[in-house]
Amino acid sequence: MKKKRIAILGSTGSIGVNALKVIAAHPDRFEVVLLAAHNSVNLIRSQIRQYAPKFVAMASVHLPQLKKDHSRVKFFDAQRDLPELVSRADIDVVVIAMTGAAALEPFLAAVRAGKKVAPANKEALVMAGDILMEAARRSGSVIVPVDSEQSAIFQCLEGRNTQDLHQIHLTASGGALRCLPRMKHDQVSVKDILAHPRWKMGAKITVDSATLMNKGFEVIEAQRLFGVGVDKINVLIHPEAIIHSMVEFIDGSIIAQLGVTDMRLPIQYALTYPERLPMPLKRLDLVQLKALTFEAPDLKKFPSLKLAYAAARQAGTAPTVLNAADEIAVEAFLKGKIKFTGIHSVVERTLSKHVNVPRPGLLDIKYADGWARQKAQEIVERVS
């Protein structure tokens, strides 16, 4: 069988590392062609030794030394060369595991080149989901999401008619503050937040899980990925995080995807789709589970989710502004410049100053992104 040739953008982050573990478990099925990372030089060196990629892209400052030490690898500048690299004919699947808006251009290039794309990155879909999906329709590119909830929805919808869809139940573990009363939210410290109960993740996404903004981004992602109106996407708090999302059809039938909380599961599915392969993970023990519980999200306690729904309904450049302002606000919170509750106010105030551009092109999106970052920064400086 011909091996699938894989590119991993963001190979040194947690999704990238897990994707490489999946690949290492099936050496007869996959081959690593391209690895891209930003600054983690030591980790990329060990990945080069273990996976022998043909191409590696890194931030330009690291290139001279890397070139000297690994003469069999061709090195590229990650900032400049990724769009061209992912379009190469010798790449079948592109895993977008890098975070941030920088993923947008390589993501779009991979889609335009008709690749199978496995995105874990949220920002690109939130900012430019319509442009990406339209490009995929034109090129025939298949997008199989890696994010656990989107993967669940994808699996539940597989082979079914979206016309028969009544609603999507997007599940959320509830984040670090699920049980804390609203009045106490402005006393919450960075340390409190980073002790997240269910998934091991980076600091930004852990804060976004605590505000439920992460779920808000996922509402927008799902809206784009599955072409579903935002009012058909219902967020459901499910603290056990066993059901990764559900799909409810017009006849009242609900299909759910369950699994252990391990990212290797959705990553492997994205790489092998439409096939499945065995996975050497501890399996879900349904008898041990005892109970699965659900509750509606409290929008007064988690106003960021409400903001995200509003931005999703507005569409245009509003989701871009939501994403950019949130990034600045979370960074300010992590640096101790603003309170936890300040994250929401910074995003809300930035959105209220924004003049929305309907049906934006890529340039409108980039402009709105830059504008929102600057505006949010101004608001942070004023309140801190």
Per-residue contact track with Mg ion, 102 to 141, x per CB under 5 A? ----------------------------------------
Roughly what angle, to the nearest 10 degrees, separates helices 318-334 and 303-314? Answer: 150
Question: What letter does residue 98 receive in the DSSP assignment?
Answer: -
Q: How far apart are CA 259 and CA 331, in angstroms?
A: 32
56 vs 96, beta carbon nearer Mg ion: 96
| Dihedral sign from CA coordinates of 106, 108, 112, 114 | positive
263 vs 368, beta carbon nearer Mg ion: 263
| Dihedral sign from CA coordinates of 345, 350, 356, 361 | negative
Provide, rounded to whole angstroms, the least separation between the CB of residue 287 and Mg ion.
27
By CB under 5 A, the residues from 161 to 220 that bind Mg ion are none
Provide, rounded to whole angstroms, the least separation between the CB of residue 218 and Mg ion.
6
Provide, rounded to whole angstroms, the least separation between the CB of residue 219 and Mg ion.
11
Cα maximum dimension of the chain: 63
**Stretch of residues binding Mg ion (CB under 5 A), selected from 63-71, 143-151, 244-252, 372-380:** 143-151
> CB neighbours of 99 closer than 8 A, spacing ≥ 6?
10, 13, 121, 123, 202, 204, 205
Provide, rounded to whole angstroms, the least separation between the CB of residue 233 and Mg ion.
14
149 vs 369, beta carbon nearer Mg ion: 149
Q: 117 has which bridge partners?
A: 94, 143
Element (H, E) at 369: helix 362-383
149 vs 248, beta carbon nearer Mg ion: 149
Three-class secondary structure of residue 355 per DSSP = coil
Q: Are strands 243-249 and 254-258 parallel, antiparallel or unpaired?
A: antiparallel
Q: How far apart are CA 131 and CA 109, in angstroms?
A: 12
Provide, rounded to whole angstroms, the least separation between the CB of residue 315 and Mg ion.
22
**Stretch of residues binding Mg ion (CB under 5 A), selected from 26-34, 39-47, 144-152, 329-337:** 144-152
Q: How far apart are CA 355 and CA 358, in angstroms?
A: 10
Provide, rounded to whole angstroms, the least separation between the CB of residue 21 and Mg ion.
19
Q: Please report the DSSP string for 209-245 in residue order.
A: HHHTHHHHHHHHHHHHHHT--GGGEEEEE-TT--EEE
By CB under 5 A, the residues from 149 to 168 that bind Mg ion are 149
* 147 lies in the site for Mg ion, by CB under 5 A: yes
Number of residues interacting with Mg ion: please give it, by CB under 5 A.
2
Q: Please report the DSSP string for 281-331 in residue order.
A: SPPP-HHHH-----B---TTT-HHHHHHHHHHHH-TTHHHHHHHHHHHHHH
208 vs 331, beta carbon nearer Mg ion: 208
Provide, rounded to whole angstroms, the least separation between the CB of residue 85 and Mg ion.
27
8 vs 205, beta carbon nearer Mg ion: 205
123 vs 149, beta carbon nearer Mg ion: 149
Provide, rounded to whole angstroms, the least separation between the CB of residue 14 and Mg ion.
13
**Stretch of residues binding Mg ion (CB under 5 A), selected from 97-105, 142-150, 298-306, 318-326:** 142-150
Provide, rounded to whole angstroms, the least separation between the CB of residue 157 and Mg ion.
17
Provide, rounded to whole angstroms, the least separation between the CB of residue 57 and Mg ion.
26
175 vs 342, beta carbon nearer Mg ion: 175
259 vs 360, beta carbon nearer Mg ion: 259
**Stretch of residues binding Mg ion (CB under 5 A), selected from 64-72, 148-156, 233-241, 284-292:** 148-156
Which of 81, 112, 127 lies closest to 361 in space, CA to CA? 127
Which of 234, 225, 231 lies closest to 313 in space, CA to CA? 231
147 vs 331, beta carbon nearer Mg ion: 147
**Stretch of residues binding Mg ion (CB under 5 A), selected from 27-35, 109-117, 146-154, 228-236:** 146-154
Binding residues (CB under 5 A) for Mg ion: these are 147, 149
